[in-house]
Structure 1
Amino acid sequence: MKNIYKIAVYGAVICLAGLGGCKKEFLEVTPNDKTNAKDAFSSPEKIAVAMTGLYDLTSTGDYTNNMILNNDVKGGNVMVVSGAGNYGRFVNGYQFIETVNSVEPSNYWTVAYRVIGNANQFEANIPTAPITEAQKTAYLAEARAIRADAYFWLVRWYGKPYNLDPEAPGVPIVKLPLGPNDTPPGRAKVKEVYDFILADLKFAEANLPARSNIYRMNGAAIQGLLARVYLNMGNYPEASKYAKLARASRPLGNAASLLAGFSNPSSEWIYAINVRTDDNQGFIAVSSFYDPYDVGYSSFRVTDEFLNSFSETDVRKQQFLVKESLNASPSTAMYRRRGTEGYLINKFDFNTTPANNQVLIRSSEMYLIEAEAEARQGLTHEAAAKAALLPIQLRAGTATVISLNTGQALIDEIMVERDKELYGEGHKFFDLLRTKTPVTRSGVSHWKIVNFQPGDNKLVFPIPQVETDANPILKGQQNPGYQ
């Protein structure tokens, strides 16, 4: 069995009754010592630890990293090989056969509501904390941004896409800590969840102090999240506006940065998980599953169709060049398979160390959001769309002049560039959902063929059984097909 390198835990684990499966409220300051929520906010030092714990919850291997991987394996360009030696991870997700007891839907729900529960503790306790008013506002803005991010993940996994049905059931909204005797709420509408997300992010945008640390919520990260949220809502003017703002201070890296392993920050990283040698996800990191040398789990491949969609001039195609072995000469690099299913991927470095930082938002994504949002506003916006697309194509070496496409052809061109630029970073499945594109697979690579039309019940997760058991209100609110 491959070892997990996760050693140190700095955990604010103030759990909710019902939502998240915990009933006892406590804060883990170190792996062994616990204190109640009030005490956790009793000094500046303890508050700082609580915020560290909140970030640590978001970085667990069964939450953000796992959701990134599952998103791509469901999207079609990336696949998990059959019989993969990764203890069954993502095999159900790849096949769309999750049940109310499946691991991934249960973990995402549980951890997300723990994140939300901890963020709610900030909202409840920061007003009386022994720190300055400016510090209170800053902490509250940061906690609300993290809460918004958790809800954004949740509503996309468990609710219908906003563009498809904003009135459909979303997820429960919990604004303040729940006590053991409080009744957890039922599901809010998708639109109501998005409104709540926007309120949190707008508060954070207005109140978070300027900072350059990409490993904590910062102004560009919040603007990037707003760009994503508005894009999912189909509010294209706001999506374009916030994408421009988010990328303004984070210039694109050079072509070489696309081949450097996505482990250490380049100029375009906006928001990321900071990983240390004594506190990391080890073999359940994103880079482990994409590793081509069997150092990690090495169980993800790209399809023949996706690899062949890259032109020979596209520098990103070199992300699939794999040496004969880890220590072999670079001259042995070629497009390789291991077995018959798909091509190996060398976008992410895992063989140097398991302590790989995980990028969450890059300015390249913001250029592509801007391009798509402008193109979807019609002919009068196409010049702006093409201007935003060109820097991505220039860096990749796929174009030297502005696109000549127009209308749907321009939108298609942008979406193709989005696939090539962002695969492996957790976008493809949600892109299919928000654009109301059928989720289909065909060709020689996939060992599981699927054909789901927009709105199919299998494109949303079931509410976990443990949650419907704990919250009677949710028993009658399960997603169709999972009762």
Structure 2
Amino acid sequence: MKKLIYSFILTGTLFTSCSMNEEPAGKLNDETAIQTTADATKFRNGIYSNIRSVSNGTFIYSQEMQADMFVGTQINGNRLGPFSISSFTSSDNDLEDLWEYPYKYIANVNYFLPKLEVLINREGIDANTKLLLERYRGEAKWARAYYYYYLTDTFCQSYTNVEPTTPASGMPLETVYHPSSEYSTYPGRSSLAETFNLIEKDLADAYNDLEAYEKSSAKDAQANLSANAPYLSTFTVLALQARIALLKGDNATAIAKAEKVINEGSYTLTDRDLYPAIWTNDEGSELIFVPYGDQAQSSAVAAIGEAWINSSTDKADYVATQNALGMYDSEKDIRYEWFFEPRALSVNGASVVAPCFVKYPGNPLLNTGSTNALKNLPKPFRLSEMYLIIAEASASTDANKANTALNTLRAARIADYEEQTYSGQNLVNQVREERTKELIGEGFRISDLRRWNLGFSRSTAYEDIYEDVPSILIPASMNVTYEPGYYRLILPIPTGEMETNPQLEGQQNPGY
């Protein structure tokens, strides 16, 4: 790790000091930053800001542009170009951010946890305050698990594609805050098994702390057990546990956790007539967790829509491929209606109608002016994913369960849907396609292709109103093909990290 003091709270001077030998009044440092419950609450708010960052923006769309659902236009200014044309190297700045920021946020958690323990164990603390601080501890451990999940899913081979105990197959693990410029103290990569063990341990601890708070007499004890919760709950823990179990190939656990969310939570798949509000207003009956953000915090919310479209409707950096369009029933599937919009793009003096991806149209409440800022709050866990997890995890062992989950989701998305029964590889393929249709643009595609051991080729064989689209596309973006197991399905460790941390020598991902 590049050892900097990464905390959002450990910087800044409120007043100047008369003596250079004195601590300035109000200065925050490692020792004084968290001394009261109020201090802990402020730091906890910063952790939620970090969660909001890693579940949105570049952490979501970078690898979406790498896969088969989107293709670059000639007016994109090479924004995200290295991902789209598959030319990225370990020295690209965009890769540095994907690695560095999660580790910054892990450092924040590692700083916070022991400070919480001091407050929790102080003499004379009342029971309600202790319970509140333990809740904060659970939230912090969930956050650390989420950051390590993101890093592992981005920079490591899929758990089911490698022997997970292989040395240096996982991430460098940090659980203690000790900023240092001594490069010899930096950790090398752990095994995948060790990385996942830490993630699972943190999630188990988080569940226990959050469950205790939810069962308490606190007036807001159950405030986050319903849809659109701005703070973490036991259901958010279960949702991440289900996702992690699926990645591990632990299908029984994946099913059990996902079913608990469905059966014990108050969430429902959003009605078709209310479906647009999920994406425009960032609210819906199936949203398990929506990190808080309002107009006052708009500057800290990612303009995720800008990765694809522009506030000027005649411009777009990336458009949908025929691979994407061809998956949907264009007349009956609410997702086709809501995710893709024909827009006349102005490219090199020509006007060409193209399939623009508008899943992130911008929430008007996050605009600070008259222009659409294309900002949306992240929606990292939705009920639909739980149905998809059940369908995939049971497809090879319980076709009835898989078909039930698949049909339930499709009935909520497709008008006049008639239930179908699939079996064998056809069932597996149907589940995979449904997952792709539902989660398009949400950061899952490269991970899914890698663990399914599939490759891809982008199709630009457009039809009807889109037949002229190839004329405005970047040829190098159109012609990308990945074979199964292609090394670029895993991102490289950034060069800066490799050069800074001597323990990483010989541990770069293959191909880089």
Distance in 2 between the 1:415 and 1:31 partners?
49
Q: Is the 8 A contact 1:151 1:197 kept in 2?
A: yes
Segments of structure 2 that go 5 or more residues without pairing to the other structure are 15-26, 215-221, 368-372, 462-469
**Aligned pairs, how many?**
446
Does residue 65 (structure 1) correspond to residue 82 (structure 2)? The answer is: no
Distance in 2 between the 1:424 and 1:187 partners?
30
Measured at CA, do residues 139 and 273 of structure 1 come closer, stay the same or move farther in structure 2, by a change above 3 Å?
closer
Q: Is the 8 A contact 2:75 2:316 kept in 1?
A: no
Measured at CA, do residues 63 and 267 of structure 1 come closer, stay the same or move farther in structure 2, by a change above 3 Å?
closer
Paired residue for 1:7?
A: none
Q: Is the 8 A contact 1:371 1:384 kept in 2?
A: yes
Does residue 162 (structure 1) correspond to residue 155 (structure 2)? The answer is: no
Distance in 2 between the 1:388 and 1:363 partners?
11
Q: Is the 8 A contact 2:314 2:343 kept in 1?
A: no
Measured at CA, do residues 276 and 398 of structure 1 come closer, stay the same or move farther in structure 2, by a change above 3 Å?
same
Does residue 375 (structure 1) correspond to residue 395 (structure 2)? The answer is: yes
| Residue from 343, 346, 350 that aligns with 2:355 | 343
Does residue 396 (structure 1) correspond to residue 413 (structure 2)? The answer is: yes
Paired residue for 1:277?
A: 295
Paired residue for 2:18?
A: none
Query: What letter corresponds to residue 395 of structure 1 in structure 2?
Result: A
Paired residue for 2:188?
A: 186
Shift of 1:454: 3.5
Measured at CA, do residues 226 and 262 of structure 1 come closer, stay the same or move farther in structure 2, by a change above 3 Å?
farther
Q: Is the 8 A contact 1:300 1:344 kept in 2?
A: yes
Distance in 2 between the 1:281 and 1:419 partners?
31
Deviates more, 1:463-472 or 1:131-140: 131-140
Q: Is the 8 A contact 1:337 1:344 kept in 2?
A: no
Distance in 2 between the 1:453 and 1:171 partners?
25
Paired residue for 2:465?
A: none
Does residue 118 (structure 1) correspond to residue 108 (structure 2)? The answer is: yes
Measured at CA, do residues 117 and 345 of structure 1 come closer, stay the same or move farther in structure 2, by a change above 3 Å?
same
Measured at CA, do residues 374 and 23 of structure 1 come closer, stay the same or move farther in structure 2, by a change above 3 Å?
same
Measured at CA, do residues 296 and 349 of structure 1 come closer, stay the same or move farther in structure 2, by a change above 3 Å?
farther
Measured at CA, do residues 56 and 290 of structure 1 come closer, stay the same or move farther in structure 2, by a change above 3 Å?
same
Shift of 1:281: 5.0
Does residue 176 (structure 1) correspond to residue 176 (structure 2)? The answer is: yes
TM normalised by structure 1 equals 0.85
Give the % identical residues: 25
Does residue 142 (structure 1) correspond to residue 123 (structure 2)? The answer is: no
Paired residue for 1:309?
A: 327
Q: Is the 8 A contact 2:390 2:402 kept in 1?
A: yes
Paired residue for 1:387?
A: 404
Distance in 1 between the 2:261 and 2:436 partners?
20
| Residue from 257, 260, 265 that aligns with 1:242 | 257
Measured at CA, do residues 292 and 344 of structure 1 come closer, stay the same or move farther in structure 2, by a change above 3 Å?
farther
Measured at CA, do residues 22 and 164 of structure 1 come closer, stay the same or move farther in structure 2, by a change above 3 Å?
same
Q: Secondary structure at the match of 2:65?
A: helix
Q: Is the 8 A contact 1:301 1:341 kept in 2?
A: no
Measured at CA, do residues 409 and 216 of structure 1 come closer, stay the same or move farther in structure 2, by a change above 3 Å?
same
Does residue 426 (structure 1) correspond to residue 443 (structure 2)? The answer is: yes
Segments of structure 1 that go 5 or more residues without pairing to the other structure are 1-18, 323-333
Distance in 2 between the 1:145 and 1:282 partners?
21
Shift of 1:342: 5.0
Q: Is the 8 A contact 2:267 2:285 kept in 1?
A: yes
Distance in 2 between the 1:226 and 1:318 partners?
32
Query: What letter corresponds to residue 138 of structure 1 in structure 2?
Result: R
Q: Is the 8 A contact 2:320 2:357 kept in 1?
A: yes
Q: Secondary structure at the match of 1:37?
A: coil
Distance in 2 between the 1:45 and 1:173 partners?
30
Q: Secondary structure at the match of 2:360?
A: coil
Distance in 2 between the 1:459 and 1:477 partners?
17
Distance in 1 between the 2:430 and 2:416 partners?
12
Measured at CA, do residues 374 and 336 of structure 1 come closer, stay the same or move farther in structure 2, by a change above 3 Å?
farther
Distance in 2 between the 1:200 and 1:427 partners?
22
Shift of 1:49: 0.8
User: Which residues in structure 2 correspond to 1:24-103 (within 5 Å)?
Assistant: 24=5, 27-28=8-9, 35-60=28-53, 64-85=56-77, 88-103=78-93
Q: Is the 8 A contact 1:170 1:189 kept in 2?
A: yes
Q: Secondary structure at the match of 1:270?
A: strand
Paired residue for 1:104?
A: 94
1:209-263, Cα deviation, whole Å (9 max, x unpaired): 3344322221111111111111111111111111122233211111123323343
Distance in 2 between the 1:279 and 1:181 partners?
34
Distance in 2 between the 1:127 and 1:74 partners?
42
Paired residue for 1:23?
A: 4
Q: Is the 8 A contact 2:11 2:28 kept in 1?
A: no
Distance in 1 between the 2:115 and 2:281 partners?
36
Measured at CA, do residues 344 and 281 of structure 1 come closer, stay the same or move farther in structure 2, by a change above 3 Å?
farther
1:68-122, Cα deviation, whole Å (9 max, x unpaired): 112322221123434404xx43211122222222122100111110111111112
Paired residue for 2:424?
A: 407
Measured at CA, do residues 297 and 244 of structure 1 come closer, stay the same or move farther in structure 2, by a change above 3 Å?
farther
Shift of 1:387: 1.3
Distance in 1 between the 2:259 and 2:65 partners?
29
Distance in 2 between the 1:321 and 1:73 partners?
16
Q: Is the 8 A contact 1:186 1:474 kept in 2?
A: yes
Distance in 2 between the 1:290 and 1:31 partners?
37
Query: What letter corresponds to residue 316 of structure 1 in structure 2?
Result: R
1:413-463, Cα deviation, whole Å (9 max, x unpaired): 122121222212221111111211114334446742233334332222221
Measured at CA, do residues 404 and 107 of structure 1 come closer, stay the same or move farther in structure 2, by a change above 3 Å?
same
Paired residue for 1:251?
A: 268
Deviates more, 1:94-103 or 1:115-124: 94-103
Deviates more, 1:428-437 or 1:31-40: 31-40
Distance in 2 between the 1:310 and 1:144 partners?
39
Measured at CA, do residues 89 and 56 of structure 1 come closer, stay the same or move farther in structure 2, by a change above 3 Å?
farther
Distance in 1 between the 2:418 and 2:245 partners?
29
| Residue from 491, 497, 500 that aligns with 1:461 | 491
Distance in 1 between the 2:199 and 2:315 partners?
35
Paired residue for 1:330?
A: none
1:277-303, Cα deviation, whole Å (9 max, x unpaired): 222358952223344652698423111
Measured at CA, do residues 32 and 356 of structure 1 come closer, stay the same or move farther in structure 2, by a change above 3 Å?
farther
Distance in 1 between the 2:382 and 2:395 partners?
20
Paired residue for 1:15?
A: none
Distance in 2 between the 1:420 and 1:148 partners?
27
Paired residue for 1:473?
A: 503
